[in-house]
Amino acid sequence: MTKLSPARFPRLSPLLLCLVLLGAGPAFAQTPQPVVPAAEEDPFLVAEMQDDAQALSSFEALDPWQGFNRPVYRFNRGFDRIIFRPIAKVYDKVTPKLVKTGVNNFFDNLQEPVVTVNLLLQGRPKAALQSFGRFLMNSTLGLAGVLDPASHARFPRHRGDFGQTFGRWGWKKSRYIVLPIFGPATVRDGLGKGVNTRVSPIDWLAREEGAEYTLLYGIDARARALSAEALLEGAADEYLLVRDAYLQNRRCQIIDCSDDLPDYLLPDYEFEVPDFDALESNLRR
């Protein structure tokens, strides 16, 4: 598999924070073609750009359902502008930074058991132990995860989900699809999100304590994306920009090139599809 250089999209990965609830935008232009410099100028750059061109071509091959995806993307963008974005902006404006940090830490900590399981399934026991250690320390000394003493103790934070695990098991290529409301995915990652939800402590908490936890989780995830929205401005084709950023990032996670990317380019967490049965039962209480 051709490795996609992180330098090709140096600022795109933060978009993945807003892919949670964002769909698509208007299709303004054709697929942009990468500009390859003359070989005598920099032969190494030429080789890198050619690799990236092949990767972009492979992204196009993974997206045969554009006739479905683009309308869903436009619907998601409109739905976000009307509902999710205003709520997230109010939350971000009125909530003290200390409280927002605590909410972020709390939900990040609840992800750790799922991350631990996936790291074990991927054959990474050391990373799984570190992830579980983070969960134990933050759940106890960190007041149920509201504080993050594990980071101060230099426990590394790892990422792992079932879509990534399926990829490590061999399902590396999967068709791209835009899910209504929940945004970009692949068939593999959509299935993985469903499994994540069924085993997630966040789902258990919503079932036991109320749907407001799932709602707060979604609002918190959308609020994290507000600072990344400027990256979409001026895009010739938002749909292609978001698609390529998503597929690049997922490819990088599956082939484990995280060491090649600075921390600020890595997504904080994958938004889970809420369990609507749990939401409905809690709302009836």
With helix as H, strand as E and coil as C, how does 94-116 read? HCCHHHHHHHHHHHHHHHHHHHH
Q: How far is it, in rounded angstroms, from Cα 233 to Cα 25?
A: 11
Instruction: Identify the residue with better confidence: 58 or 159.
Output: 159
Mean pLDDT throughout 194-201? Answer: 90
Mean pLDDT throughout 247-276? Answer: 59
Rg from Cα positions in the chain = 19
Q: Report the amino acid identity of residue 84.
A: F
Q: What pLDDT, on the 0 to 100 scale, is given for residue 122?
A: 94
pLDDT surpassing 70 at residue 253: yes
Q: Taking all residues of the chain, what is their mean pLDDT, rounded to a whole number?
A: 78
pLDDT surpassing 90 at residue 90: yes
Handedness of CA 102, 108, 110, 113 (dihedral sign): negative
Query: What DSSP state is assigned to residue 266?
Result: S
Per DSSP (E only), the strands in 79-160 are none
Q: Do residues 244 and 60 touch, judged by C-beta distance below 8 A? A: no
Packing angle of the helix pair 125-140, 97-121 (nearest 10 deg): 150
Give the lowest-confidence range in 109-113, 132-136, 208-212: 208-212
pLDDT surpassing 90 at residue 31: no
Percent of the chain with pLDDT over 70: 69
Mean pLDDT throughout 181-203? Answer: 91
**What token pair was written down for 181?**
């409301």
14 CB burial (10 A radius; 0-12, 13-18, 19+): buried
Instruction: Identify the residue with better confidence: 233 or 155.
Output: 155
Q: How far is it, in rounded angstroms, from Cα 148 to Cα 81?
A: 33
Q: How far is it, in rounded angstroms, from Cα 135 to Cα 142?
A: 9
Q: How far is it, in rounded angstroms, from Cα 21 to Cα 197?
A: 16
pLDDT surpassing 50 at residue 263: no
